[in-house]
Amino acid sequence: MHSFSEDKQDAAFDAGVNRISLGVQTFDTTIRRALGRKAPREKLITTLERLVAQDAGAIVVDMMYGLPKQSFDSWRADLETVDALSLDGVDHYGLNLIPGTPLMSAVEKGKLSPLKRQVLGEFYASGYEQMLSLGWHPISTSHWQAPDLRERSVYNFGAKTGWDFFGFGAGAGGSLNGYGYYNIPMLDAYGAAVTAGNAPLMGLSQASVLAPMLNTLRAGTERARIDPQALSQSAIACGLDLDPVDLLAPLWAQWQEAGLMAARFRFWDLTLAGRFWQVQMTQRMTQYLTEAYLPPEQDTNDSWSAKAEDPPVLPKRSPSKANPSNPTSPKNSPLSKRTNEHA
């Protein structure tokens, strides 16, 4: 946000941009300084108030919990500020330490200490309950929609679940008819490619033959509700003989016992604890299904190189060869004790 000047804001809206998402992380100036963020609280608020006042598009911010020096009080204060600014949407993300970043370096040197996973869960639960109390609606496991309903998070959902779309700019990605691409992330290299008249591409990929089924699964977990009927139908569209619902049934029963999922009508809903563990649960299910349907040498992560001449052949495999297991100890998560009231 530090470099998002008023001229750039106006240029974006004049060009037809109808949604702006900004990585605020926190409004607490003390915490921001510890993170190396330049803009203080007052500057952030002034910028966001100006954007909201223009009424030209949805204004969304990313907020993080589990930051160094962050307390439950400062986290709640951040969310109160989000609500008071009349923003259209907000994402809640737990701190993810990335190698090579200043924050990771500070942790490695012992200057900062990251929070334990169970504490992150308590932050997530606190934020979830507070947003509900303020009248906001969860449209995914991490994204909230303001009462004005302007924010829909269409791009975020579509990008994760296989929609066709085009992404423009350094580091952007897109997909069309089962093929994906991502652009050069470095600004200088991206600009040089465009100036030279070259496509600024970093890579291309072709979706797995399992993509329709895996995308249906991801769409469900992203919004905290898996539809077994839709999942079975997507497998048929892939030409699969084994029903993924039958394959996943033991795993879902295990996660239900752990307090991560709850059967409701024909659906399987993620509980509050399940929402917190959604990313790990989705990764485990997609890995499990991929191993059940495809040999490791043909498909290890639901995509292959665009240079591959032939698509992989689907073998008929016994479901007993796959071995489901829990994500990283969610049964011991403090959130699992709090799911009944939100199930």
Backbone angles phi, psi at 162, to 5 degrees: 90, 15
DSSP reduced 3-state for 342: coil
CA pair distance 3, 227, nearest whole angstrom: 43
Which helix (H) or strand (E) segment holds residue 256: the answer is: helix 244-257
Is residue 143 within 8 A of residue 89, CB to CB? The reply is yes
Is the pLDDT confidence value at 333 over 60?
no
CB atoms near residue 6 (< 10 Å): 10
pLDDT tens-place string over residues 282-307: 999 999 999 999 866 555 444 433 33
What pLDDT shows up at residue 296?
66
Q: What per-residue confidence (pLDDT) applies to 297?
A: 59
- CATH 3.30.750.200-classified regions of the chain: 6-152
Predicted confidence at residue 306, as pLDDT, reads 33
SS3 state of residue 228: helix
Q: Number of helices and strands (H, E) in the chain?
A: 13, 12
- Tell me how far CA of residue 34 lies from CA of 39, 82, 100, 197, 304, in angstroms: 12, 21, 17, 42, 41
**What pLDDT shows up at residue 154?**
87
pLDDT tens digits for 110-132?
877 777 888 999 999 999 999 99
The residues, ordered by sequence, that sit 6+ positions from 329 with a Cβ below 8 Å of its Cβ are none
Main-chain dihedrals φ then ψ at residue 100, nearest 5 degrees: 90, -10
Q: What is the mean pLDDT of residues 150-172?
A: 88
Compute the distance between CA of residue 80 and CA of residue 46 in angstroms, rounded to an integer: 16
Q: Which of left, alpha, beta for 100 (phi over 0: left; psi -120 to 50: alpha)?
A: left
- Higher-pLDDT residue of 217 and 157 is 217
CB-based contacts of 179: which residues, under 8 Å, 6+ apart? 204, 205, 206, 207, 306
Check residue 321 and report its DSSP letter.
G
Of the listed ranges 216-220, 229-233, 328-332, the least confidently predicted one is 328-332
Q: Helices marked H in 277-331 — which ranges?
A: 278-293
118 phi and psi angles, rounded to 5 deg = -65, -30
Averaged pLDDT score across all residues of the chain: 86
Residue 222 or 106, more confident = 222
The candidate with the shortest Cα–Cα distance to 210, out of 233, 235, 229, is 235
Question: Looking at residue 341, what is its pLDDT?
Answer: 38
Per-residue confidence (pLDDT) for residue 119, from 0 to 100: 93
User: Could you tell me which residue, 336 or 199, shows the higher pLDDT?
Assistant: 199
The arithmetic mean of pLDDT across residues 8-19, rounded, is 94
What is the fold of 6-152? Transcription Regulator spoIIAA (3.30.750)
Give tens-digit pLDDT for 20-79.
999 999 999 999 988 888 899 999 999 999 999 999 999 999 999 999 889 999 999 999
Confidence at residue 36, expressed as pLDDT on a 0 to 100 scale: 81
As a whole number, mean pLDDT of residues 86-90 equals 97
